[in-house]
Amino acid sequence: MEWNLLKVQFYFQILFLLLQNNNITGPIPKEIGRLANLHTFDISNNVLTGEVPSSLGHLKTLQYLRLNNNSLSGPVPLSLVNMSQLAFLDFSYNNLSGPIPRFPARTFNIVGNPLIFATGKEQECSGTTPLPLSFNLSSSQNQHREEVCLGNLKRFPFRELQVATDNFSSKNLVGKGGFGNVYKGYLRDGTDVAVKRLKDGNPAGGEIQLQTGVEMISLAVHQNLLRLIGFCMTNSERLLVYPYMSNGSVASRLKG
């Protein structure tokens, strides 16, 4: 399938462009750079050729970019450093060459491009930058309170969520699911929240895996989806924090 057969009409309203695994051939159209509000662009696992268009650097709101597993060639455009909101980037398994710009992406993967990295140096071609922390430290009676953020997400101390849910009391249990239980809680500023306590508190991959996971969840923006507002990680706990909605679950509504 070629791009001109897709008959894609470009609108500024497009937030997600997901075209992976479609056997698409030809170059990436430079017109993609006109999608000023694009958040997610995934065209991995196709048969794309040609260079990565420099116009992608115009996508100032792009957060998730996957061009991996194609046959793209040429240098990586320096203009991509302008994508200040980029959280995840995957250019792996292409034929790209030249120097690699200092991407703003926190998670990146460029393995499988032999003209960039020689075989045996794959460990240098991917990684996750340690949490890009923003600190707000204040002291009160010799006690320090630390606020840590990942992008727009707050990293909550476990103790704060423990207090908010009355130590995950059964009286605050509002839902159960395959991945964990959900508790209603009250933050110190009076905000109502729903705290999802994941069952697998210490998964393979640990903190890096959860960091990548919450970044991906935070990219899901839709009027019918709750926006993730924060998370918590300890050696044995993994928790996600959402705004609390009092109207019950979709399942309860469907059951009447």
Annotated binding-site positions for ATP:
196
Q: Where are the alpha helices (DSSP H) in 10-51?
A: none
Are the CB atoms for 26 and 49 separated by under 8 Å? yes
**Integer CA distances (angstroms), 70 to 3, 16, 95, 184, in order:** 14, 20, 8, 45
**What gap in Å lies between CA 240 and CA 149, rounded to an integer?**
14
Residue 106 neighbours by CB under 8 Å, 6+ apart: 87, 88, 128, 129, 132, 211, 215
Q: Where are the alpha helices (DSSP H) in the chain?
A: 3-6, 158-164, 206-218, 250-255
Annotated binding site: 196
Structure tokens at 177: 């699911």
Burial class (CB in 10 A: 0-12, 13-18, 19+), 247: exposed
Task: Say which DSSP state 182 is in.
Answer: E
SS3 of 88, please?
A: strand
Give me the residue label for tokens 């209603």: 184
